[in-house]
A and B are shown apart, each in its own frame.
Chain A
Amino acid sequence: MRLELDAITKRFGSLVANDKVSLTVEPGEIHCLLGENGAGKSTLMNVLFGLLHADSGAIRIDGGAVRFADPGEAVRHGIGMVHQHFMLVPVFTAAENVVLGFEPTRPLGLLDRRRARADIRRLSVEFGLEVDPDAVVETLPVGVQQRVEILKALQRDARLLILDEPTAVLTPQETEALFSIMQSLKRSGRSILFITHKLKEVLSIADRITVMRLGKVVGATTPQEVDESELAAMMVGRDVELVVRKAESHPGEPVLELRNLRVVDERGVAVVDGVDLEVRAGEIVALAGVQGNGQTELAEAVTRLRPVSSGSIRLAGEDLTRASPREVIRAGVAHVPEDRQEDGLVLGMTVADNLVLDIYDVAPFAAHGVRDLARVRGNGETKLSEFDIRAPSADVAVGTLSGGNQQKVVVARELSRPVKLLLASQPTRGLDVGSIEYVHGRVVAARDAGSAVLVISSELDEVLALGDRIAVMYRGRITGIVGPGTGREEIGLMMAGVTVPPAEAPSTAGDGGAAGAGDTGDGGPHAGPAGGGAGKASGDPAPGKGSTR
């Protein structure tokens, strides 16, 4: 299908979300729509899918102008959309979800489950989309749920698939699998409109690229014509530092000491299984690992949000194994939680209030149980400029800010009290390039100010860019602690549970697929030159901050 968007304009009140946006998707093409959060990508896709109506402009399919009153019409015209947040019924099976709304029936209106299953099997085989038709969706991993969404679109004969930030929720292996599915769809002549803000993905999969910024198309190009930093500059509107600049670390005294830490979850499984880890003042320890190997639970145990079964947690010599979350905060632990909207912020409350969420009841923000509202607001305004938080004022609800600015609020709050240990879980997940650059800079600055830093990340690029030492976690255990010069493949293998002595580390360039090495297939160079992380700015163009999930 050939799709043309011609000068689409969409206003929300006085805001122009799409300003004369034009782009063309050729048949059998993977077209990437690149832009930061807030650039107007999702608005454009919602216009295309009939969820919103353009104020002006035209949509043409194979040359003929169309207007979709609702998504149903878009579907009938062969457009399928896979939303960032899946539209699946969790308690239904994969087959039931796929046929939902277009159910094949037998006489008397009975549901033809056999045909539904057969349809799925046929499509699965055709495009390499492995899904068990009878599996209940809520029990499936996220990557497989996404396949169900794609199957849903294919079952409705979609000839153009819109994938809205499809990789945001995927592990590296799942991303790989998705890309090969996209290639097979392309071979079948279907067009794909792929929306993302991750540069590496764009370069590895796109046939053509359209870049949006602030509601406008700012450029159209192909992967052959640009590199990562050019794309980043187009997207952000200025030159972007793709490498984390940091000097050599000078580790001091141990700050965080975990001894034989064990955490047992609700099901009785040891999710953290005898972890020994030390983080020293003035160093960044990056804890790598595929999501779900106990990193989340480790962080929750350290912040005392989750009970410890055995072992000990010490902070600067003080035993915190049985402390309360509040005592941990008071002891000098800054915590950037993995899920900022769920655990880090109260979205309906103001930016100023969120900036004092864990120091609201101590001086200078309160005395004798009474809050000093003027100070809270003053602190808010100060932090807005200090941490470059883009908000109209400190009095707006934090939920109205973009993801990157929300994370800056969390970081600003956590770093605004004396910090002995900074514990940052997935600190840049879902952020745009500019925000990632900013957050990384702050993490390094905290280290340089003498804090111990533990960064938990499932993003290998981030681990390599930030870590002075890299610890790898697999199934609740630390499988190894290595220096920053270690190769991606080696760390990738450790992430997959293979303990490799450094001497035998394979140096063959592979896709590291088995290891889940977060490399999205562009064969990016190894990050971090040997020699302790110093001088990273030289020579190494792309440790790939841009593709941080």
Chain B
Amino acid sequence: MSATSGGRGAAPVGDEPAPASEPGVTPASGPQAPWWSRTVRLFGEANPLVLTVLAMLSAVVLGGVLIDATSTTVLHAWSRIGSHPGRALSLTVTTVADAYGAIFTGSIISPSAVSHAVSTGKGWTGVFTPLSETATYATPLIFAGLGVALGFSTGVFNIGAQGQLIGGALAALYAGFELHLPIGIHLPLVVLAGAAGGAAVGFVPGILKARTGAHEVIVTIMLNYVMIYLLDYLLTVQPFQQPGQTNAVSRVLSGTARQPHLFGSGLSVNLSFILALAMGAAMSWFMRSSTLGFSFRVIGSNPDAGRTAGMSVAKVTTLVMTFSGLLAGMAGMATLTGTDFYLSSPYGGNIGFDAITVALLGRNKPVGVLLGSLLWASLEYGAKNMQLNTGIPVDLASVVQALIVFFIATPLLVRDIYHLRQTGARGVQLFTKGWSG
């Protein structure tokens, strides 16, 4: 299959396609089949939604096995299975249930906190704290994930979200302490500055690729280092460094440059979360309904056809990288203005790289990125609660995260495990296309 040399290897449609359109060959269960039958069929199919859900299920099951296998109490109970068989089995189940339960209560909602709030009428803030923290944690992931997904779906591999995030954070920081304006003007300016900072860092690999063909993967990875060390340097010089400090710590944002909390100061979730949702909606609209978004999609899936149709591949490549950087820059802006209020070096944790994972989880669709970010954030945040309450190390949550990515990235494996029907190559096509693009 891969070793074609005579024909075009890329042509997925060979000699015998499009059977459904042939007259006389009517599919037996087409639109005529009752709705329930079609729905059942849908769940047996290897479509992206089913595959994603099953991938997560597989990861959770395998993660559960690992939790048991690393639990000394469970192992001890199994070693004495002869005398207490019931105990070994029940411990096996409860240990896993407790672990996942702790992740759930820590990141989404805790039934005990709810009953406490209901009975006493107080502590409602505590009920919503996990959700609020998860949303806050997810906010920069959504921004950066959207940026990476925009690139992926257009055939551009932006591995530089981390650097663009720093660029956005630096620009937002500068606007945030240097300007002195009322919040209604200051905060929007800071948001714009963050977007512009990220866009500037994204523009560089874009224009280099368009003009010289330099591969964006290499350039963005290298630019990550440039930005990491630029931040390191800037935080030790004026005007960025906090006066009186010798460490690499920045000045603090003015109060007018900070995101207002959405539900009072008790809950960390702030305006940037709404902004992230809005950007997701905007991107969804942009790709579907704008002419520019259409040309992005065309160039992303077949640059030759785009060129023949009069589109400029160079222009689109540059713009895609710039937009992608813009979104990643907003991630840096969001953590700075939403939770941190100052920069330190290194900055941004692992967001720039988790963004790649989240984009893959969400199959490069804005809604998918949103859900993927929330899932990722709840695992990250809930894991802390799991360690606190059950003593299972946080690392096991990371293992579950890794397993989810593993199963998401191997749709054929998932399809075979669950004996799903094939829905044509497109349904399970590996979405990491475009390394060579």
Contact surface of A with B, Cβ cutoff 8 Å = 12-17, 37-43, 84-90, 137-138, 142, 145-146, 164-165, 169, 214-215, 303, 305, 324-326, 328-330, 335, 337, 339, 341-349, 353, 357-358, 360-361, 366, 369-371, 373, 390-392, 397, 399-403, 405-406
How would residues 391 to 433 of chain B score, 1 for a CB under 8 Å from any chain A CB and 0 otherwise?
Answer: 0000000000000000000000000000001001010000000
Indicate which residue in A89, A164, A345, A346 contacts B3 across the interface (CB closer than 8 Å): A89
Q: Please determine whether A42 and B19 come into contact, CB atoms closer than 8 angstroms.
A: no
- How far is A12 from B19 in the complex, measured between Cα atoms in Å? 10
Q: Please determine whether A325 and B308 come into contact, CB atoms closer than 8 angstroms.
A: yes
Q: Please determine whether A392 and B294 come into contact, CB atoms closer than 8 angstroms.
A: no
Q: Please determine whether B309 and A329 come into contact, CB atoms closer than 8 angstroms.
A: yes
Q: Please determine whether B18 and A370 come into contact, CB atoms closer than 8 angstroms.
A: no
Contact of B40 with A by CB under 8 A: no
How would residues 1 to 38 of chain B score, 1 for a CB under 8 Å from any chain A CB and 0 otherwise?
Answer: 10111111111111111111111110111100000000
B230 to chain A, nearest CB (A): 35
Return the 7 tightest CB-CB contacts between A and B, nearest first.
Answer: A326-B310, A85-B7, A358-B309, A86-B6, A361-B291, A14-B27, A14-B28
Q: Please determine whether B17 and A38 come into contact, CB atoms closer than 8 angstroms.
A: yes
A residues in contact with B292, CB < 8 Å: 369
> With contacts A357-B298, A360-B294, A390-B22 known, what are 17 further pairs, Cβ within 8 A?
A13-B421, A15-B20, A38-B19, A42-B16, A85-B14, A87-B1, A88-B3, A325-B309, A328-B310, A341-B10, A345-B305, A346-B298, A360-B295, A370-B289, A370-B291, A373-B288, A402-B17
How would residues 49 to 83 of chain B score, 1 for a CB under 8 Å from any chain A CB and 0 otherwise?
Answer: 00000000000000000000000000000000000
Interface pairs (7), CB distance under 8 Å: A37-B17, A86-B4, A341-B13, A358-B308, A361-B294, A370-B289, A400-B20
A308 to chain B, nearest CB (A): 16
Indicate which residue in A142, A339, A343, A391 contacts B6 across the interface (CB closer than 8 Å): A142
Contact of B113 with A by CB under 8 A: no
Indicate which residue in A41, A341, A370, A401 contacts B11 across the interface (CB closer than 8 Å): A341
| Contact A400/B5 with A214-B25, A342-B304 known, Cβ cut-off 8 Å | no
| Contact A400/B6 with A366-B291, A392-B21 known, Cβ cut-off 8 Å | no
| Contact A88/B5 with A329-B310, A366-B291 known, Cβ cut-off 8 Å | yes
Contact surface of B with A, Cβ cutoff 8 Å = 1, 3-25, 27-30, 288-292, 294-295, 297-298, 301-302, 304-312, 421, 424, 426
Closest A residue to B423 by CB, please name it: A13
Q: Please determine whether A369 and B290 come into contact, CB atoms closer than 8 angstroms.
A: yes
Q: Please determine whether B5 and A138 come into contact, CB atoms closer than 8 angstroms.
A: yes
- How far is A358 from B16 in the complex, measured between Cα atoms in Å? 28
- How far is A272 from B316 in the complex, measured between Cα atoms in Å? 30
Closest A residue to B29 by CB, please name it: A14
Q: Please determine whether B310 and A358 come into contact, CB atoms closer than 8 angstroms.
A: yes
Q: Please determine whether A305 and B19 come into contact, CB atoms closer than 8 angstroms.
A: no
Indicate which residue in B3, B289, B306 contacts A90 across the interface (CB closer than 8 Å): B3
B residues in contact with A342, CB < 8 Å: 8, 10, 302, 304-305
A48 to chain B, nearest CB (A): 14
Q: Please determine whether B13 and A349 come into contact, CB atoms closer than 8 angstroms.
A: no
Indicate which residue in B10, B21, B298 contacts A391 across the interface (CB closer than 8 Å): B21
Closest A residue to B1 by CB, please name it: A87
B residues in contact with A14, CB < 8 Å: 27-30
Q: Please determine whether A397 and B14 come into contact, CB atoms closer than 8 angstroms.
A: no
Among A303, A361, A373, A401, chain B packs the most CB atoms within 10 A around the CB of A361
Closest B residue to A361 by CB, please name it: B291
B57 to chain A, nearest CB (A): 26
Main secondary structure of the interface of B (DSSP, over half): loop
B224 to chain A, nearest CB (A): 31
B residues in contact with A90, CB < 8 Å: 3, 5
Q: Please determine whether B6 and A15 come into contact, CB atoms closer than 8 angstroms.
A: no
Q: Please determine whether A15 and B5 come into contact, CB atoms closer than 8 angstroms.
A: no
- How far is A164 from B16 in the complex, measured between Cα atoms in Å? 12
Q: Please determine whether A353 and B294 come into contact, CB atoms closer than 8 angstroms.
A: yes
| Contact A324/B310 with A86-B5, A349-B301, A360-B295 known, Cβ cut-off 8 Å | yes
B residues in contact with A326, CB < 8 Å: 310-312
B28 to chain A, nearest CB (A): 4
A49 to chain B, nearest CB (A): 14
Q: Please determine whether B18 and A405 come into contact, CB atoms closer than 8 angstroms.
A: yes
Indicate which residue in A347, A361, A402, A405 contacts B295 across the interface (CB closer than 8 Å): A361
A residues in contact with B15, CB < 8 Å: 37-38, 41-42, 84, 164-165
Indicate which residue in A358, A373, A400 contacts B18 across the interface (CB closer than 8 Å): A400
B residues in contact with A406, CB < 8 Å: 13
Q: Please determine whether B310 and A325 come into contact, CB atoms closer than 8 angstroms.
A: yes
| Contact A145/B5 with A14-B28, A38-B16, A347-B12 known, Cβ cut-off 8 Å | yes
B residues in contact with A339, CB < 8 Å: 8
A350 to chain B, nearest CB (A): 11
B residues in contact with A328, CB < 8 Å: 310
A225 to chain B, nearest CB (A): 26
B residues in contact with A330, CB < 8 Å: 310
- How far is A215 from B1 in the complex, measured between Cα atoms in Å? 25
- How far is A145 from B7 in the complex, measured between Cα atoms in Å? 11
A183 to chain B, nearest CB (A): 23
A46 to chain B, nearest CB (A): 9
A536 to chain B, nearest CB (A): 31
Q: Please determine whether B13 and A137 come into contact, CB atoms closer than 8 angstroms.
A: no
B residues in contact with A391, CB < 8 Å: 18, 21
| Contact A401/B298 with A343-B305, A371-B289 known, Cβ cut-off 8 Å | no
Among B5, B22, B23, B295, chain A packs the most CB atoms within 10 A around the CB of B5
- How far is A325 from B347 in the complex, measured between Cα atoms in Å? 45
Q: Please determine whether A305 and B3 come into contact, CB atoms closer than 8 angstroms.
A: no
B10 to chain A, nearest CB (A): 7
